[in-house]
Structure 1
Amino acid sequence: MIEDLEQTFRWFGPADEVTLAAIKQTGATGIVNALHHVPSGKIWSTAEIKKRNDIIKAAGFRWSVVESVNIHESIKTDGKDRDRYIENYIQTLKNLSIAGINTVCYNFMPVLDWTRTNLDFRLPNGASALRYHAPAVAAFDLYILEREGAQNEFTSQQKKDAKKYLDSLDSTARQTLINTIMAGLPGTDEVFTIAQFKTHLKKYKGVDAAALKCNLAYFLRAIIPYAEEFGIKMCIHPDDPPFPILGLPRVVCTEEDLLDLINACPSPSNGITFCTGSLGANGNNDLPGMIDRLGEHIHFLHLRNVQREPDGSFFEADHLNGSNDMFAVMKSIIAEQKRRKDKGRTDIAIPMRPDHGHKILDDFNYNTYPGYSVIGRLKGLAELRGLEMGIKRSLY
């Protein structure tokens, strides 16, 4: 029998209203965590890492994956200080390795992390989901941000839909849209102002997708040899959504993009966080096929589903429902586990976490980070656990 995937849960630290005691009841054995209080670009000290790791261990868990050690914007834009920030990044990796933490998830999305327009999209059953509404993003880009060049990037119908959406908003809803799109990194309460965001956009004025991809390759060639020396597996998270928004390029959206970054610095330490929700928001991505072809490079799994809409919108669906065939996805993951076992690899129990759960039941009584309610994710984990067991029992 092939061993199970390692079941993990994301936890945002001591301030998270989802406690480690609550997570213990989900059946997860690993924690996905980061030092969100340390600013991007700063070194994570051995003392701070140990302090957090001791809390996780005391609760009966393993700190399975760091998500994320954020990459400073100077690295993404080829800023004058990028080599100094890369040196800091390498030192953080070394300090994590000293603590025995050896899987690090990161992303290379410019300025913003994952982007949504609605953090409380109500489903027919009353559950609350996250939603990306394409006309809302267009309305923000065209008529609130008023980004230079945006008028040339949308069709006449898209502009019409965007204006209609904007006109439907009162002042409160308009401000909510701004705050939702301008939210910063997960684990923080940072929200950019329009002026701050425009300043960031200026830094990317000469950075198109080709340049951003070159900057990613530079970063990888600098850190991966050290990661390999330290025994750390780096795994990039795909862009979310997997297409350019607000004039910012995205370079981790497709199978070709993933191949490019793997080939930029071939190494067992240069790998992928396979997020079925992020990649699955692009209907052209063949998720099971990507796992079949790129599976040896997958070090971490984010398993969730989205329901795509014709205009490019999507919302977070139930984990086993939606536009992506999660049965086929899980079957391909298990086939990759079998290949690893046959090759004598030891990393068969790939860390997996349920992602972006709905708010259901008692979740509404807690102020949790968007997408990270405890009961909604527990439901997702239970469904994924059952799917994995059913497939394995039927095959082996």
Structure 2
Amino acid sequence: MQMTFRWYGEGNDSITLKQIRQIPGMKGVVWALHDIPVGEVWPLERIEEVVKQANAYDLHTQVVESVNIHEDIKLGLPSRDQYIQNYKETLKNLGKVGVKVVCYNFMPVFDWFRTDLFKEMEDGSTALYFDSEKVQALTPEQVVKNMEENAKDFTLPGWEPERLRDLQSLFEQYRNIDEGNLLKNLIYFLEEVCPVAESCGIKLAIHPDDPPFSIFGLPRIVKNKEDIQRILHAVDSPANGITFCSGSLGANLANDLVDIVQSFAHCIPFAHIRNVKHFEDGSFIESSHLVADGSLPITDIIKALYENGFDGYIRPDHGRHIWDEECRPGYGLYDRALGAMYIHGAWDAYVLKGKK
């Protein structure tokens, strides 16, 4: 297992590489070129720039999150072939610098959303919050406005400005796209890019839907165990894998997270670990990693990864905003550093137990 930390780049993150390097056991950063418009090729010189920055602090750059998928690919439009070709070129450039995993998602319009990015908790910290009742009354435009106002000076991952400018048009385009159509379009994409990823030594790891159920009537195809199995079986390639995200899949308590790990461990090159606390009305908030603070079996998940020989990359996922830190929503330094140590502690306990 290699511990990593998501980093948004110099000038785009309140957290420095020097700070990340000081977290015990930290091996690498999970990164992306966030200023490159979705669908365009990532230039090799820009990629090498990030690699050089991270390597200067003895941190590797073997995991990218994310090379986002253009909406035309998800919609299955004729223009998708050019965007897929661009994706292949980006994979080739990433392979040249030793990238091993590319995390991506196939969520229409909204990659993820919450109704409150800074919901106050009982201890005075704040966290990302999903209000189930409020979602039913919100329009997509209201969601975008809410997130833009809460995000302060930070861009939000997976929310490209060009998409948000023409939101209504995107919704119209998805009117006739159901889960079956979306899955076909994903398979088309994977059949095209997996051979290139294989040749570059890269594993593609699809991220679960966040949350793992439909929002505003949009289709979702990475919601549960059955969806994951369908995707993995559709394209038989060692490059076709998943990102196990406890927080995304765990937003639906019907998902057995331990069983999902045990079933697909051989196809999980990358894992996100975070806890969420559920409420009776279907709302949830992102708590600390501590099992007692949330509703998910975090230590059982880590045990399942260990017992099934997980040797990939892992990162502490969304953290609370604590100790008056001003940071990107969900991506502060302090609580994620605590999360990394919690994951390490649980992992070490199973390692030591196995040596007895």
C-alpha deviation, 1:369, in angstroms: 1.6
Find the aligned partners of 1:131 and 1:254 in 2 and give their Cα distance. Answer: 21
Residue aligning to 1:58 = 56
- Please report how far the alpha carbon of residue 329 of structure 1 lies from its aligned counterpart in structure 2 after TM superposition: 0.6
Instruction: Please say if residues 239 and 251 of structure 1, whose CA atoms lie closer than 8 Å, have aligned partners that are also in contact.
Output: yes
**Partner of residue 353 from structure 1, selected from 308, 315, 320:** 315
User: 1:42 offset after TM fit, Å?
Assistant: 0.3
Q: Which residue of 1 aligns with 2:261?
A: 291
Q: Which residue of 1 aligns with 2:79?
A: 81
Root-mean-square deviation (CA), in Å?
A: 2.2
Matched with 1:218 is: 188
Q: Distance in 1 between matches of 2:160 and 2:88?
A: 27
Task: Give the counterpart letter for 2:2 in structure 1.
Answer: E
What does 1:247-258 align with in structure 2 at a 5 Å threshold? 247-258=217-228
Distance 1:189 1:180, change over 3 A: farther
By how many angstroms is 1:176 displaced? 3.3
**Is 1:327 aligned with 2:299?**
yes
Aligned partner of 2:39: which letter?
A: G
Shift of 1:63: 0.4
Change (3 A) 1:319 1:191: farther
- Per the alignment, residue 154 of structure 1 pairs with none
Structure 1's 334 and 39: CA in aligned 2 closer, same or farther, altered over 3 A? Answer: same
Distance change (3 Å), C-alpha of 1:299 and 1:318 = same
Distance 1:257 1:98 in 2: 32
State whether residues 8 and 64 of structure 1, in contact with CA within 8 Å, keep that contact through their aligned partners in structure 2: no
Q: 1:302 aligns with which of 254, 272, 278?
A: 272
Which one of 33, 40, 43 corresponds to residue 42 of structure 1? 40
- Residue number in structure 2 paired with 1:342: none
Q: TM-score, normalized by length of structure 2?
A: 0.93
Provide, for residues 68-106 of structure 1, a one-character-per-residue CA deviation record: whole Å limited to 9, x for no partner.
000000000011200111010011001100111121000
Find the aligned partners of 1:224 and 1:188 in 2 and give their Cα distance. 25
Contact 1:220–1:264 (Cα < 8 Å) also in 2: no
Contact 1:36 1:187 in 2 (8 A): no
Specify the SS of the correspondent of 1:29. strand
Once the two structures are TM-superposed, the CA of residue 272 in structure 1 deviates from its matched residue by 0.6
Matched, 1:227 2:183: no
**Residue 316 of structure 1: aligned partner:** 286
TM-score by length of 1: 0.84
> Aligned to 1:116, which of 108, 114, 117?
114
Q: Residue 108 of structure 2 aligns to a residue in which SS?
A: coil
- Trace 1:26-175 onto structure 2 (pairs within 5 A): 26-27=23-24, 28-141=26-139
Match in the other structure for 2:17: 20
Identify if the C-alpha distance between structure 1 residues 275 and 96 changes in structure 2 by more than 3 Å, giving closer, same or farther. same
> AA paired with 1:20?
L
Note the C-alpha offset of 1:349.
Answer: 3.0
Shift of residue 175, structure 1, vs aligned partner: 5.3
Are residues 221 and 188 of structure 1, via their aligned partners in 2, closer, same or farther at CA, if it must alter by over 3 Å? Answer: closer
Question: What whole-Å deviation, never above 9, does each CA across 1:282-321 have from its counterpart, x for those lacking one?
Answer: 1111111111111100010100011122322111011122
Q: How has the CA–CA distance of structure 1 residues 230 and 175 changed in structure 2, closer, same or farther, with 3 Å as cutoff?
A: closer
- Structure 1, gaps ≥5 residues long: 147-172, 338-347
1:11 and 2:7 aligned: yes
The alpha-carbon distance between structure 1 residues 179 and 244, as it changes in their structure 2 partners (threshold 3 A), is farther
Contact 2:208 2:243 in 1 (8 A): yes
**Corresponding residue for residue 388 of structure 1:** 347
**Inter-partner Cα distance in structure 2 for 1:202 and 1:180:** 27
Q: Which residue identity does 1:201 align to in structure 2?
A: F
| Conservation of the 8 A alpha-carbon contact between 2:127 and 2:320 | yes
> Are the equivalent residues in 2 in contact too, given 1:331–1:391 (CA < 8 A)?
yes
Deviation at 1:362?
Answer: 4.4
CA–CA separation in structure 1 for the residues paired with 2:38 and 2:329: 21
Paired with 2:240 and 2:106, the residues of 1 have a C-alpha distance of: 14
8 Å CA contact retained: 2:269, 2:313:
yes
What letter is aligned with 1:335? E
Maintained 8 Å contact 2:109/2:163? no
CA shift digits 1:139-178 (9 cap, x unpaired):
113xx859xxxxxxxxxxxxxxxxxxxxxxxxxx995368
Question: How many Å apart are 1:130 and its aligned residue?
Answer: 0.6
Partner of 2:332: 373
Structure 2 residue identity aligned to 1:7: M
Question: Partner amino acid for 1:8?
Answer: T
Gaps of 5+ in 2: none
Name which of 253, 256, 277 aligns with 2:247: 277
Give every structure 1 segment of 4 or more consecutive aligned residues whose post-TM-superposition deviation is greater than 6 Å. none
Classify 1:391/1:104 alpha carbon distance in 2 versus 1 (closer, same or farther; 3 Å): same
